[in-house]
Amino acid sequence: MNATPDPGSPVDAGLMRRWLDLAATAVDRESEHLSELDSPIGDADHGGNMRRGFVAARTAVEQEPPDTPGGVLVLVGRTLISTVGGASGPLYGTLLRRAGKDLGDEPAVPAARLRDALRVGVDAVAQLGGAAPGDKTMLDALLPALDALTGALDAGGSAAEAFAAAAQAADDGAKATIPLRARKGRASYLGERSVGHQDPGATSAALLVTALADAARTGEDA
């Protein structure tokens, strides 16, 4: 556990645990805001759902810390599925569990390998929820984040730079949901009245990607 990670393989269990810790902290801090966003176009529970899930996930990982990045993702995903009642629990849970399974038991992987695994997870979300880009869901933050991650890595950027680009794209994607009309989930029941509001799930997705960028940056500083 104290082995120095290969700089070419910066994604290890330590990075994923730092990610979880920062993600849980951000979700807790933004919980009220997420539920406020979920008020006009949902049932005002998104912040509470996310907080419950990430508190449980942090506890699960602290109790039995997995020693691979895939193991952390699988445990977090499984915990979200079992503790969150709303649509977001099974969707985020599926994303992380599938990504973790794709990574298998590798102790450390390059950022591009994590990107491929996250792509598998995001594809599974699209399949489970049946949403397409522009439907005003978490995918509208997640898909641009993956594209930015790919672009930055292809351009030769470091893992930290690539995750930072992904975070910016996720944030932009979340803001770009404001003029969209929801076609999936609870917000779709409102039809035209869903226009003019930022999607809560896209907003929490941006928080989660930002936590990954922050985790990678703190890893570099260490």
SS3 108: strand
Distance CA 60, CA 78 (A): 10
- The smaller minimum CB distance to ligand ADP, of residues 129 and 144, is found at 129
Distance CA 69, CA 157 (A): 21
Q: What residue 185 binds from Mg ion, ligand ADP, none (CB within 5 to 8 A, per partner kind)?
A: ligand ADP
Angle formed by the axes of helices 69-83 and 13-41, nearest 10°: 30
**Segment interacting with Mg ion, rule: CB under 5 A, options 44-52, 74-82, 135-143, 146-154:** 44-52
Residues that bind ligand ADP in the complex, under the rule CB under 6 A = 38, 42-43, 45-46, 49, 86-88, 91, 125, 129-131, 137-139, 184-186, 199-202
Q: How far is the CB of 43 from ligand ADP (least distance, A)?
A: 5
Report the residue number whose CB is nearest to ligand ADP: 201
Distance CA 61, CA 56 (A): 9
Distance CA 131, CA 188 (A): 11
- The smaller minimum CB distance to ligand ADP, of residues 46 and 58, is found at 46
Q: How far is the CB of 39 from ligand ADP (least distance, A)?
A: 10
Site residues (vs Mg ion, CB under 5 A) = 38, 42-43, 45-46
